[in-house]
């Protein structure tokens, strides 16, 4: 008799070692291309990372810095913890970030209250530099200085002598120097608020004062205590920070304030230096987010001119940084003016740009430029919407020459090139293979494996290979005829003629794609092994699509997303293997909002739903994200009313599980407490789970295990049936 394959458990998803195999993060080749640095999880703790290197000459890997060296000052400050939440690294411990010096001779590694400068050629253990509680440490481009933010001021430290200089002195209270404000961190992916000149002579930095941002008293409930946090949170329609841009010269320390224009109510996206210190650029986006400008500042004369203007009747997306060419008087810039995100070569002197690609596809980002070979390397979705591949574009001919596909394996490729573009580090996966990491030449020929991660009998996932459910892919039509991509897992042990319950996993928010051909959610594998059909669909607004696919969200959120997801539910209901009376929905954050809206719109079609940390009223969410789609509440009151949850609650009759962290500083706990009150007023029964002290991501392993066990138990009781089983074989005694 053949034994049944071993199935996943929720506890095993978060136990050690990682089921994905050797977990590598932050994989960056050295600028000189001699080695590759990366963070590697410990086998005994998949959430604690050490610094490693792979030496391309010796073809060996070794650990450069043990995260256990931090004997003091390992507690993470509240400010750094908030930054970790913004950067989605709050679950990780040990070494969570590092950076190369420009020449590749040193690595800067913050660890606790210390900074380690690691020489990868030195055989001895690196020495720690005690700097105290600082933020955003960097090595200057020429390697002479360390820089960091302490007490809201910008500080530099001469590496050779250890002497410190405080470059700004007004930081404190509501005034911040060289940092990114809340909405810039959360919504613009702005991880730094200062930018070194290439010759170490100056630093451009952001200055902001949040005095005019409303203070929201927020009660954080922890397991053993409660505290009132007075958070400055700019909700939709509120005042943003006052923002300025300055340049400080190291010789003398003089400040030069850059004129950002007559309108003070703007967003400063970022600043970037050109090939030398004569040119500084910055990106300015209007409060209504219909116009973005890339502006050049001549540092010799102080004169300014607009290099690029992006306009949209809906909204403009935050731009990538300009890539300045070394041997030509020009730069590369991505734009969605064609309806797709294409790459253009602009002359610095002015004049029309050259389109480097054309057609109904878009790039993700510029990876490298090889001016000698006349090539630009980009990642893009040209051959498949749900894949990420690397392509080479012709720098001279532009769109007249079709792109060359570099990566050949179907799936998802993350690539980072060395500065000379002669090699790149590839991280590849697909739904059946966990990530593998290799070094490759520009023709995709293998140079060396860093982590081959073979799924053999020694792999942590090996016991579960027999129960792994393959992913199916497809497209279906939206009501306006546009194509919607979906993925589907059939239940383990699928039998024709049986009808199974559905686990509908949604996100749906603008700028995110969840139907991707990469190693994915093992919790969804678990649910498929529990007997569910697992279904995902990318609705209108999802990332990496044409503007006509996303712009329908302008003015109202929730309406078109619900229509598209209902098209998916209708398609599911027509399949002979789906029990249309046992469809449940799960979503987190925007997905939690969409799960609630789906329950309100289609409780007759959806048996139950789980909403984790949901937005319930867009007037409570932050300015930059919300106003991008809905404008200010005063300008679009009906849009806000229709986009929220409360106007639709009378349609909610299905079973609901609401989950929220009680210290969430992103989607504030108020979203759920207001919903609880509204449900109570209507007499709507529901279940609720709150996590003391937890932020938006419920980021501790114990939080994760508990919340997913809770979700599974809820689906077992309210979707699959009260006997705790779904369509597959019963597993007696498991669950909550």
- Active-site residue, 696 included: yes
Q: 664, 665, 712, 716: which is the annotated catalytic residue?
A: 664
Asked if 227 and 220 touch (Cβ cutoff 8 Å), the reply is yes
- Active-site residue, 222 included: no
For helices 522-529 and 701-715, give the axis angle rounded to 10 degrees.
Answer: 30
> Which tokens belong to 661?
């962290």
Sequence-ordered list of residues with C-beta below 8 angstroms from that of 161, at least 6 positions apart, any chain: none
Q: If you search the block for the tokens 């319950």, which residue do you land on?
A: 501
Q: What are the strands of the beta sheet with 433-440, ordered from one edge?
A: 412-417, 424-430, 433-440, 446-451
Of 422, 607, 590, 392, residue with least CA distance to 507: 590
Of 65, 18, 68, 60, residue with least CA distance to 36: 60
Which pairs from 444-448 meet CB under 8 Å and 24+ separation? 444/390, 444/406, 444/407, 444/408, 447/56, 447/423, 448/54, 448/56, 448/59
Q: 379, 426, 487, 589: which is the annotated catalytic residue?
A: 589
d(CA 129, CA 121): 19
Sequence-ordered list of residues with C-beta below 8 angstroms from that of 563, at least 6 positions apart, any chain: 478, 479, 539
Asked if 494 and 501 touch (Cβ cutoff 8 Å), the reply is no
Which residues does residue 634 pair with via DSSP β-bridges, in sequence order?
none
Sequence-ordered list of residues with C-beta below 8 angstroms from that of 66, at least 6 positions apart, any chain: 50
Rg (CA), the chain: 26
Q: If you search the block for the tokens 């093992």, which residue do you land on?
A: 522
d(CA 643, CA 593): 10
Sequence-ordered list of residues with C-beta below 8 angstroms from that of 609, at least 6 positions apart, any chain: 584, 585, 586, 587, 595, 596, 598, 599, 654, 655, 656, 657
Three-class DSSP category at 553: helix
Three-class DSSP category at 651: helix
- Rounded to an integer, what is the distance from CA 402 to the centroid of its chain? 30
- Active-site residue, 589 included: yes
Asked if the peptide bond before residue 176 counts as cis, ω within 30 degrees of 0, the response is no
Q: 696, 699, 712, 718: which is the annotated catalytic residue?
A: 696
d(CA 523, CA 531): 13
d(CA 444, CA 454): 19
For helices 559-573 and 590-602, give the axis angle rounded to 10 degrees.
Answer: 60
Three-class DSSP category at 66: coil
Q: If you search the block for the tokens 């079709």, which residue do you land on?
A: 402
Asked if 627 and 641 touch (Cβ cutoff 8 Å), the reply is no
Residue 88 CA neighbour count, 13 Å, CB half = 6
Would you name the residues annotated as active-site residues?
589, 664, 696
């Amino acid at each position: 008799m053949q034994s049944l394959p071993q199935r996943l458990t929720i506890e095993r998803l978060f136990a050690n070692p990682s089921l994905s195999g050797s977990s590598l993060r932050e994989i960056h080749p050295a600028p000189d291309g001699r080695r590759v640095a990366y963070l590697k999880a410990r086998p005994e703790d998949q959430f604690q990372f050490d610094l490693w290197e792979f030496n391309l000459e010796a073809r060996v890997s070794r650990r450069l810095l043990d995260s256990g060296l931090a004997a003091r000052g390992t507690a993470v400050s509240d400010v750094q913890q908030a930054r970790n939440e913004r950067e989605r690294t709050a679950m990780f411990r040990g070494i969570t970030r590092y950076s190369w010096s420009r020449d590749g001779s040193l690595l800067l590694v913050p660890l606790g209250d210390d900074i380690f400068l690691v020489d990868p050629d030195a055989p001895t253990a690196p020495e720690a530099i005690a700097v105290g509680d600082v933020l955003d440490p960097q090595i200057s481009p020429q390697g002479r200085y360390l820089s960091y933010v302490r007490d809201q001021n910008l500080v530099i430290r001469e590496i050779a002598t250890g002497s410190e200089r405080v470059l700004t002195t007004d930081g404190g209270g509501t005034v911040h120097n060289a940092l990114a404000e809340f909405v810039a961190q959360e919504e613009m992916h702005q991880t730094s608020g200062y930018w070194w000149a290439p010759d170490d002579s100056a630093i451009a930095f952001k200055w902001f004062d949040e005095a005019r941002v409303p203070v929201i008293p927020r009660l954080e409930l922890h397991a053993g205590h409660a505290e009132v946090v007075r958070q400055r949170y700019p909700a939709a329609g509120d005042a943003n920070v006052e923002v300025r841009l300055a340049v400080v010269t190291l010789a003398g320390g003089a400040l030069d304030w850059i004129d950002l224009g007559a309108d003070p109510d703007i967003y400063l996206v970022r600043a970037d230096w050109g090939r030398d210190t004569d040119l500084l650029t910055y990106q300015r986006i209007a409060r209504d987010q219909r116009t973005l400008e890339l502006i050049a500042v001549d540092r010799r004369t102080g004169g300014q001119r607009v290099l690029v203007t992006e306009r949209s009747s809906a909204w403009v997306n935050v731009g990538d940084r300009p890539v300045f060419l070394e041997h030509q008087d020009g730069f590369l810039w991505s734009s969605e003016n064609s309806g797709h995100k294409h790459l253009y070569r602009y002359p610095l002197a002015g004049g029309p740009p050259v389109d480097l690609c054309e057609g109904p596809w878009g790039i993700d980002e510029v990876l490298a430029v090889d001016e000698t070979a006349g090539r630009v390397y980009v990642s893009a979705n040209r051959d498949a919407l749900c894949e990420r591949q690397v392509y080479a574009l012709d720098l001279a001919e532009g769109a007249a020459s079709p792109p060359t596909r570099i990566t050949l394996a179907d799936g998802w490729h993350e690539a980072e090139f060395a500065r000379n573009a002669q090699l790149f580090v590839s991280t590849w996966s697909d739904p059946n293979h966990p990530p593998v990491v290799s070094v490759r030449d520009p023709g995709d020929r293998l140079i060396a494996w860093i982590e081959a991660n073979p799924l053999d009998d020694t792999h942590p996932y090996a016991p579960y290979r027999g129960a792994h459910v393959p992913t199916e892919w497809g497209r279906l039509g939206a009501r306006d005829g546009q194509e919607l991509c979906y993925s589907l897992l059939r239940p383990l042990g699928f039998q024709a003629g049986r009808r199974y319950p559905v686990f509908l996993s949604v996100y749906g928010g603008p700028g995110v794609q969840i139907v991707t051909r990469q190693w994915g959610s093992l919790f969804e594998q678990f649910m498929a092994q529990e007997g569910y059909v697992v279904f995902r669909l990318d609705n209108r607004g999802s990332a990496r699509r044409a503007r006509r696919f996303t712009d329908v969200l302008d003015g109202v959120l929730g309406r078109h997303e619900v229509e598209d997801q209902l098209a998916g539910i209708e398609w599911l209901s027509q399949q002979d293997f789906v029990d249309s009376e046992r469809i449940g929905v799960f979503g987190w954050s925007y997905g939690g909002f969409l799960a609630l809206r789906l329950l309100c719109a289609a409780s007759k079609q959806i048996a139950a739903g789980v909403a984790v940390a949901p937005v319930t009223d867009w007037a409570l969410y932050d300015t930059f994200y919300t106003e991008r789609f809905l404008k200010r509440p005063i300008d679009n009151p009906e849009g806000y009313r229709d986009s929220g949850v409360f106007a639709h609650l009378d349609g909610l009759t299905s079973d609901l599980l609401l989950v929220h962290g009680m210290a969430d500083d992103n989607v504030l706990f108020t979203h759920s407490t207001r919903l609880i009150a509204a449900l109570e007023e209507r007499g709507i029964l529901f279940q609720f789970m709150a996590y003391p002290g937890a932020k938006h991501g419920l980021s501790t392993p114990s939080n994760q295990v508990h919340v997913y066990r809770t979700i599974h138990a809820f689906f077992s009781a309210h979707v699959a049936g009260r006997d705790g089983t779904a369509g597959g074989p019963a597993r007696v005694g498991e669950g909550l």
